[in-house]
Amino acid sequence: MHRRSLRLRLLITFGVGALLLSSLFASLTYFSVQRLLVDNQQQTDLRESFANAALVRSTLYSSPPALGALLNSIEAATNSSVLVHTHHQWLSTSHGAATSDVSAEIVHAVDNGKVLHQTISRRGKLIFIVGVPIPAVETQVFEVFRLERLEHSLKILGLVLGLGALVTSVIGLGGGLWVSRRAVRPLLNVSSAAAAIADGELTTRLLVGQADQEVQQLTESFNTMVSRLVARMERDARFASDVSHELRSPLTTLTTTVSVLQQHRDELSPVGRESLDLLAADLSIFQSLVDDLLEIARSDAGSLEHVIEIVPVAELVRQSARSAAQRLGIPEVPVEISDAARELSVGVDRRRFERVMANLLGNAAHYAGGAIVVRVDAADSHVTVDVDDAGPGVPIDERESIFQRFFRGRAAHDRSLARGTGLGLALVRDHVAAFGGTIVVHESPEGGARFHIELPRREGAVE
């Protein structure tokens, strides 16, 4: 399943969380303040309209003609219009105050002797209407307050709170970014350390710094785990090396005994001779297995010392191929050096390079009827050495595994005579890597296998 990144999730959580919280806070504040302001305003307006109604009443009693002047003066002094309804009709609509603002139901309710106040919206604006009855003269006084200023204040409040919520969300997002970075950093460190260790850098450890307690714990457990693993690997490598070492002396005794027996071969019965030959053959396989194991174990333990010399590649390959062939008892293989490679040098341990050649030429002899040619060439900053044969080649699915320890391919199983242990190419790869190079297998132009070695070019004296 596709997993979203932890950082993104933290970021979204923080951003959305901050947005929700700040919006909630802003709305709560807005509605409480709105309620408070409206209540306050209404209290003030109510008081005012009762006072004005009292004025209207006393004017109606004392001198009704002065009512117009009174209404005008009230209107000039306040932010409201006073409407007087008497004997079922409007007495004065001073300054065009809309009597239509006061609905028939309101008039009716006040006419029944009830004091009434109400906030309503007219033409998109809020108004507050107060109706006071004066039953003695069948009159109702209405005062209509326009709440423009209140609306304006609320608008500004809304704007400020909205802006505040936005800023808080942005700050929350920033916090999320910081926290996610901080939270993910130790994970990235662990993963890059693990990758380095997987690449063979076994000394890699996480830095024990002033990190948080949990991260510190992770760091310590990780480092302990790696140290224990490395210790265990070293112990295993030492064990293999010790075992192979211990096997050497009895093996030498056995080899000596067999060679003594071989000197007296003629004195043995035919069955004895046959047994001796079998013993000698197995002994030589055993010997090479122990040699290879010891070398691999030392290479694992890091105690395999390479004496690296800078040598001319042409001479190195020619000589190694010749002595390998001699040692293996196989015909010599022609070595072709390209013009580009003639003057170049490489840095290798001679003895081990010879073992590389011996392994490759030995394999070619075993599985492919012998190598046809060894070619040396130059490519970029590398020198290449190709060992070609015309045998069955290496199947594509085995081209990587044949370099693993104890891996024996189909070619080995097809030829019951070719006995081996599957360590040869593993050692070859270890040695080539120790020289800073690589080895892979392809198909040769002749149809068989081509073992292709690349070694870094080294500057050095060429005789």
Ligand X SMILES: Nc1ncnc2c1ncn2[C@@H]1O[C@H](COP(=O)(O)OP(=O)(O)OP(=O)(O)O)[C@@H](O)[C@H]1O
Query: What is the Cα–Cα distance from 321 to 318, expressed in whole angstroms?
Result: 5
Residues binding Mg ion: number (CB under 5 A): 3
Q: Which residues contact 163 (CB under 8 A, 6 or more apart)?
A: none
The one segment of 17-25, 305-313, 328-336, 414-422 that binds Mg ion by CB under 5 A: 414-422
Q: Kindly tell me which of 424 and 437 has the beta carbon lying closer to Mg ion.
A: 424
Binding mask 108-127 for Mg ion (x = CB under 5 A): --------------------
Contact with ligand X (CB under 6 A): which of 27, 216, 287, 421?
Answer: 421
Q: Kindly tell me which of 114 and 351 has the beta carbon lying closer to ligand X.
A: 351
Give the Cβ contact number of residue 189 at 10 Å. 18
Q: At 77, which amino acid appears?
A: A
- Does position 312 bind ligand X by CB under 6 A? no
The one segment of 95-103, 115-123, 221-229, 386-394 that binds ligand X by CB under 6 A: 386-394
Query: What is the Cα–Cα distance from 110 to 301, expressed in whole angstroms?
Result: 105
Query: What is the Cα–Cα distance from 459 to 298, expressed in whole angstroms?
Result: 29
Q: Kindly tell me which of 409 and 437 has the beta carbon lying closer to ligand X.
A: 409
Q: Which residues contact 136 (CB under 8 A, 6 or more apart)?
A: none
Supply the minimum distance, in Å, between the C-beta of residue 409 and ligand X: 2
- Does position 204 bind ligand X by CB under 6 A? no
Supply the minimum distance, in Å, between the C-beta of residue 461 and ligand X: 34
Q: Kindly tell me which of 337 and 364 has the beta carbon lying closer to ligand X.
A: 364
Contact with ligand X (CB under 6 A): which of 128, 142, 367, 435?
Answer: 367
- Does position 411 bind ligand X by CB under 6 A? yes
- Burial class of 204 by CB neighbour count within 10 A (0 to 12, 13 to 18, 19+): middle
- Burial class of 216 by CB neighbour count within 10 A (0 to 12, 13 to 18, 19+): middle
- Does position 453 bind ligand X by CB under 6 A? no
Which among ligand X, Mg ion, none contacts residue 394 (Cβ within 5 to 8 A by kind)?
A: ligand X
Tokens of 413: 């199983």
Contact with Mg ion (CB under 5 A): which of 176, 347, 424, 448?
Answer: 424
- H/E stretch holding 373 reads strand 371-379
Which among ligand X, Mg ion, none contacts residue 389 (Cβ within 5 to 8 A by kind)?
A: ligand X
Beta strands 449-458 and 438-443: pairing type? antiparallel
The one segment of 178-186, 266-274, 294-302, 420-428 that binds ligand X by CB under 6 A: 420-428
- Using DSSP, state whether 93 is helix, strand or coil: coil
SS (H, E, C) 288-355: HHHHHHHHHHHHHHCCCCCCCEEEEHHHHHHHHHHHHHHHHCCCCCCEEECHHHCCCEEEECHHHHHH
Supply the minimum distance, in Å, between the C-beta of residue 178 and ligand X: 54
CB-based contact 130:116 (threshold 8 Å)? yes
Q: Kindly tell me which of 14 and 403 has the beta carbon lying closer to ligand X.
A: 403
* Residue whose CB is nearest to Mg ion in the complex, by number: 424
Choose among 189, 198, 187: nearest CA to 226.
198
Which among ligand X, Mg ion, none contacts residue 409 (Cβ within 5 to 8 A by kind)?
A: ligand X
Choose among 160, 174, 123: nearest CA to 10.
174
- Does position 333 bind ligand X by CB under 6 A? no
- Does position 363 bind Mg ion by CB under 5 A? yes
The one segment of 1-9, 359-367, 434-442, 444-452 that binds Mg ion by CB under 5 A: 359-367
Q: What is the DSSP letter of 399?
A: T
Residues 423-452 that bind ligand X (CB under 6 A): 423-426, 449
Residues binding ligand X: number (CB under 6 A): 23
Which among ligand X, Mg ion, none contacts residue 449 (Cβ within 5 to 8 A by kind)?
A: ligand X
Cα 236 from chain centre: 34
The CA-atom distances, in angstroms, between 456 and each of 241, 381, 453 are 30, 6, 10
Contact with ligand X (CB under 6 A): which of 422, 438, 443, 452?
Answer: 422
Q: What is the DSSP letter of 460?
A: -
Helix axes 350-368, 313-328, angle to 10 degrees: 50
Which among ligand X, Mg ion, none contacts residue 411 (Cβ within 5 to 8 A by kind)?
A: ligand X
- Does position 409 bind ligand X by CB under 6 A? yes
Residues that bind Mg ion (CB under 5 A): 363, 420, 424
Residues that bind ligand X (CB under 6 A): 359, 363-364, 367-368, 389, 391-392, 394, 402, 407-409, 411-412, 420-426, 449
